[in-house]
Amino acid sequence: MKEKNTFHINGYLGLFILLIMVLGGGWLFYLTIINETLATGIIAALLWIISGFFISSLTIVGPNQAKAILFFGKYLGTIKDNGLFITTPLTQKITISLKVKNFNTALLKVNDSDGNPIEISAVVVFKVVDSAKALFSVDDYRNFVAIQSETALRHIASQYPYDTFEEEDITLRGNTTEVSEKLKIELEERLAIAGVEVIETRLNHLAYATEIASAMLQRQQARAILSARQTIVEGAVSMTQMALEQIEDGQDIQFTDDRRVQLINNLLVSIITDKGTQPVINTGDVKE
Query: 24 lies in which domain range?
Result: 9-95
Tell me, what's the pLDDT at 126? 95
Residues 14, 64, single domain; the answer is yes
Asked if residue 281 belongs to a domain, the reply is no
What pLDDT does 125 receive?
95
Write the pLDDT tens digit of every residue in 12-37: 887 888 888 777 777 777 677 777 66
Q: Is residue 157 part of a domain?
A: yes
For residue 238, being part of any structural domain is answered with yes
Query: Considering its fold, how many domains does the chain have in total?
Result: 3
pTM for this entry: 0.68
Looking at the domain assignment, is residue 199 inside a domain?
Answer: yes
Residues 151 and 68 in one domain: no
Q: Is 288 a domain residue?
A: no
Say yes or no: 232 and 198 in one domain. no
What CATH number is associated with residue 148? Answer: 3.30.479.30
CB 191 within 8 A of CB 126: yes
Output the pLDDT for position 257: 65
- Tell whether 251 and 223 lie within a shared domain: yes
Mean pLDDT confidence for 149-176: 83
Tell me the per-residue pLDDT of 124-137, one tens digit each, with 9 for 90 and over. 999 999 999 999 99
Residue 167 belongs to some domain of the structure = yes
Clarify whether residues 134 and 148 are in a common domain: yes
Please report whether residue 285 resides in a domain.
no
Q: Where are the alpha helices (DSSP H) in the chain?
A: 11-35, 38-56, 131-136, 141-157, 176-191, 213-251, 257-272
Statement to judge: residues 234 and 257 lie in one domain: yes
Domain co-membership, 19 together with 73: yes
**173 and 188 together in one domain:** yes
Rg (CA), the chain: 39
pLDDT of amino acid 135:
93
Can you give the pLDDT at residue 286?
A: 47
Residues 115 and 179 in one domain: yes
Q: Do 205 and 105 fall into the same domain? A: yes
Q: Are residues 166 and 187 in the same domain?
A: yes
Biggest CA pair distance of the chain: 155
Q: Are 193 and 135 in contact (CB under 8 A)?
A: no
For the residues of 116-164, what is the DSSP string, one character each?
Answer: -EEEEEEEEEEEES-HHHHHHTSS-HHHHHHHHHHHHHHHHHTTS-S--
Q: How far apart are CA 251 and CA 269, in angstroms?
A: 24
End residue of a domain, out of 190, 210, 230: 210
Mean pLDDT for the stretch of residues 159-170: 75
Q: What angle do CA 197, 203, 204 make, to 5 degrees?
A: 115
Residue 141 and residue 135: Cα distance in Å, rounded? 7
Question: In the predicted model, is pLDDT for residue 285 greater than 60?
Answer: no
Structural domain ending residue among the three candidates 61, 77, 95:
95
Cα–Cα distance measured from residue 100 to residue 63, given in angstroms and rounded to the nearest whole number: 12
The pLDDT value given to residue 121: 93
Q: Are residues 138 and 231 in the same domain?
A: no
Task: Quote the pLDDT of residue 94.
Answer: 93
Please report whether residue 282 resides in a domain: no
Q: How sure is the predictor about 58, in pLDDT bands with cuts at 50, 70 and 90?
A: confident
**Domain end residue (candidates: 95, 125, 149):** 95
